[in-house]
Chains A and B, each alone.
Chain A
């Protein structure tokens, strides 16, 4: 599975949009981009995933560049409860295993 690169930390003002970048320049055509987050002392929480089209759900939007080498997770109106470590993971669909390989993620601190 392709490696990802994320900034170590980011700040965002409450109520503003949080844009979290992820680079995955070695991504293959059959690999998806997944985003999870981990709020302190909790298990990771699934946010969104996509292959090549932009995706939106009730939590966030995922923007994937045309060449698929990078993506951005957008939280449209960040709240204090969105403070967490956000993980961008690239994973091939199917295969013998479905394990997630977590990097160090981005610590998003939403400021009041």
Chain B
């Protein structure tokens, strides 16, 4: 079956530009998560959505980062005025959510962002 998909798979941008990264979760999954993995760094949590609400935004590194989710499905992570330190792989994951009785997260392939 279809897994989590992300687009674009690769993105190169110039410092100061805005970028939008998209995540399509597994159909029926109400929970969605964004993580990022910088070169040489571990995976770090950014934000968690349950439906269209984000009860945990604690991992967003600055106010240049925002995310939204519409229709309980697709999510967009936006980075404004990109900086070189934003270069990383941005990973999206989804899970059935609390009502599903399981919280196993399934990850997409990631978007590799390079800020020049």
Contacts and interface: CB of A to CB of B under 8 A. Distances in A.
Contacts, number: 57
Contacts of A99: 33, 45, 48, 56, 59
A59 interface: no
Contacts of B4: 43
A44 B107 CA distance: 6
A103 interface: yes
Interface residues of B, number: 25
Contacts of A42: 109-110
Given A97-B48, A98-B48, 10 more contacts: A43-B109, A44-B43, A91-B103, A94-B103, A96-B55, A97-B55, A98-B31, A98-B98, A98-B103, A105-B42
Given A43-B110, A44-B91, A102 B56 contact: no
- Of all A-B residue pairs in the complex, the 6 with the closest CB atoms, nearest first, are A43-B107, A97-B56, A102-B43, A99-B45, A44-B107, A98-B103
Interface residues of A, number: 22
Interface in B88-106: 91, 93, 95, 98, 103-106
A98 B109 contact: no
Contacts of A93: 103
Contacts of A101: 45
Interface string B46-73: 0010000001101100000000000000
